[in-house]
Structure 1
Amino acid sequence: MKIAVVAANGKEGRLVVKEALSRGDEVTAVVRGENKSAAPHAILKDLFDLTTTDLAGFDVIVDAVGTWTSETLHVIPDAAKHLAGILSGTDIRLIVVGGAGSLFVNKEHTLALKDTPDFSDDYKPVSAAHSKALEGLRNRSDVKWTYISPAADFQADGTRTGSYGLAGEELTANAEGESFISYADYAIAVVDEAESGRHVGERISVYAK
């Protein structure tokens, strides 16, 4: 399996690289500057300068782009759009590291987590950016995309347990009523999907059991 991780220097990107390498996958980092991940190969290029030719030969591209500032949040949906565009019509799959805010909290799928009264104002801008990325993917049938939402509490320094629960469009909690997952366990789910390709054209979600 040949996997390219875009934004491999980020916290989630590095963990996806590490997880894929541990399974014997061939991993390439896509970074603007020095490759600080464990990937033995790198494409040193701004993601918006990537072309179809740059990504030819890979089985899966992982979009691990993450930003938080108001000036840069547009990069999240713009990155997903650009990568989908250059992968259009190919057999290369695109896996996007998504957000939790767009997960539904009712069975009718009319109310998303980000629109509930208790959702923190601090997270609304980044949630809106991730939601825009997902909406853009939903409108495409020309690219083999998968969008993976984490649980409500996405823990950057959380423990790697080696397992996770898999769900769909709805926010899901564990038996204790808690909805969280570590970056490390989320990386396991990303690589599982990369290797299996079971959810092409779908949004899935993962949580700690």
Structure 2
Amino acid sequence: MKVAIIAANGKTGSLVLQECLKKGFEVTAFVRRAGTVTNPKVNVVVKDIASLSSADLSGFDAVVNCFGTWTSETLPLHKKYTAMLCDLLKGTSTRLIVVGGAGSLYVNKEHTVQLYQTPEFPKEYLEISTSQVEELAYLRTRSDVAWTFFSPAAVFDPEGKYTGSYTLGGEEFILNADGESYISYADYALALADEIENKKFVGKRFTAVGRK
């Protein structure tokens, strides 16, 4: 399995990289700065996401988009770069797996209310959530790309431990056995690498929760 990871030196990307290597995948890391990924088992390409071409992404079984940004001015880049990657991969068998957000998860069975629309949703995360809601909505318009959007739990913990287990969900907001919407970055990375291998959610969004 040949996998490309965009922003492979970030908090999420670096953990996804580790999990892919554990599975024996042939991994190529796309990074903006040289020296940020030094594992000798990884092919490294120093190139900004905005400069990628279809030739750069040719031949991969999966491309994982771990790009993330937080400022008001740059949040539109989530949708912009995902759209660009769709255009580069359209008509190919290469999967596009996007690291998404929890805000777009539905909180009712009718799928009329999303988490970011609820009164309890933290205002400080509203902008980033809205940008990723738009990103997912865009992906749903693309039938010419084998996309997958992976929403983490509401509490997405960069310092959380690796437990090696998780519970999968689909379009709806779910809780773990402790009644919490929680997953560590490490267990999220495991679930993502498993999805690359298992191909359960091609053309779909899914989510996962873990335990502390």
Please classify the TM superposition score into its range, dividing by the shorter chain length: over 0.9
Please show how residues 124-143 of structure 1 align to structure 2 within 5 Å: 124-143=126-145
**Structure 2 SS opposite 1:52:** coil
* Pick aligned residue for 1:117 from 119, 143, 152: 119
Partner SS for 1:199: coil
1:188 pairs with 2:190: yes
Q: What runs of 5+ residues in structure 2 fail to find an aligned partner?
A: none
Spell out the pairing of 1:159-174 with structure 2 (5 A cutoff). 159-174=161-176
Report what 2:7 is aligned to.
Answer: 7
Aligned AA for 1:7? A
The residue correspondences of 1:52-63 to structure 2 (distance < 5 A) are 52-63=54-65
Deviations 1:29-82 (CA, angstroms, capped at 9, x unpaired): 111112423462112111121111111111100000111111221121112111
Cα RMSD (Å):
1.1
C-alpha separation in 1, matches of 2:129 and 2:189: 20
Q: Give the match for residue 30 of structure 2.
A: 30
Partner amino acid for 2:110? Answer: E
How far apart, in 1, do the equivalents of 2:103 and 2:198 lie? Answer: 26
User: Is the 8 Å Cα contact of residues 9 and 35 (structure 1) preserved in structure 2?
Assistant: no
The answer for the alignment partner of 2:98 in structure 1 is: 96
The counterpart of 1:49, out of the listed 51, 64, 80, is 51
Q: Does 1:19 align with 2:7?
A: no
Tell me the distance in 1 between the aligned counterparts of 2:57 and 2:166: 30
Q: How far is 1:175 from its partner? A: 2.0
What CA distance in whole angstroms lies between the structure 1 residues aligned with 2:111 and 2:67?
27
Query: What does the per-residue CA deviation read over 1:95-145, in whole Å, with 9 as the maximum and x for residues that have no partner?
Result: 000000000111111110000001111000000111111011001100000
Letter of the structure 1 residue corresponding to residue 90 of structure 2: S
- TM-score (normalised: structure 1): 0.97
Residue matched to 1:64: 66
User: Partners of 2:115 and 2:200 in 1: how far apart?
Assistant: 25
Query: TM-score with structure 2 length normalisation?
Result: 0.96
SS of the counterpart of 1:191? helix
- What amino acid is aligned across from residue 16 of structure 2 in structure 1? V
Secondary structure (helix, strand or coil) at the match of 1:128 reads: helix
Which amino acid is the alignment partner of residue 196 of structure 1?
A: N
Give SS of 1:145's match: strand
Please, which of 182, 199, 202 is the counterpart of residue 200 of structure 1?
202
The answer to which of 95-104 and 45-54 deviates more is: 45-54
Distance 1:157 1:79 in 2: 27
Structure 1 unaligned residues grouped into runs of 5+: none
